Amino acid sequence: MDKLKEIINERGEIRDGNILKVDSFLNHQLDAEFLYEIGEEFYRLFRNEGITKIVTIEVSGIAIASMAALFFKVPVVFAKKTESINLDKDVYSGKVYSYTKKKEYNIMVSKKYLNENDKLLIIDDFLAIGNAMKGLIDVAKQSGAEIKGIGIVIEKGFQQGGKFLREEGYNLKSLAIVDEMKNGSVVFREN
- The residues binding a second copy (CB under 8 A) are 15, 19, 21, 23-25, 27-33, 35-36, 58-59, 62-63, 65-67, 69-70, 73, 75-78, 80, 82, 84-88, 100-102, 109-110, 112-113
Q: Closest separation between CB of residue 170 and a second copy, Å?
A: 23
Distance of CA 70 to the CA centre of its chain: 17
Distances (CA, A) of 75 to 12, 22, 157, 166: 30, 26, 30, 26
d(CA 36, CA 30) in angstroms, rounded, equals 11
Question: Within the chain, what is the greatest distance between any pair of CA atoms?
Answer: 49
156 is in an annotated binding site: yes
130 is in an annotated binding site: yes
CA proximity to 157, closest of 176, 177, 143, 175:
177
Q: Closest separation between CB of residue 74 and a second copy, Å?
A: 8
20 is in an annotated binding site: yes
d(CA 100, CA 98) in angstroms, rounded, equals 6
Residue closer to a second copy (CB basis): 17 or 169? 17
Residue closer to a second copy (CB basis): 48 or 100? 100
Give binding residues for 5-phospho-alpha-D-ribose 1-diphosphate as ranges: 128-132
Give binding residues for xanthine as ranges: 20, 27, 156
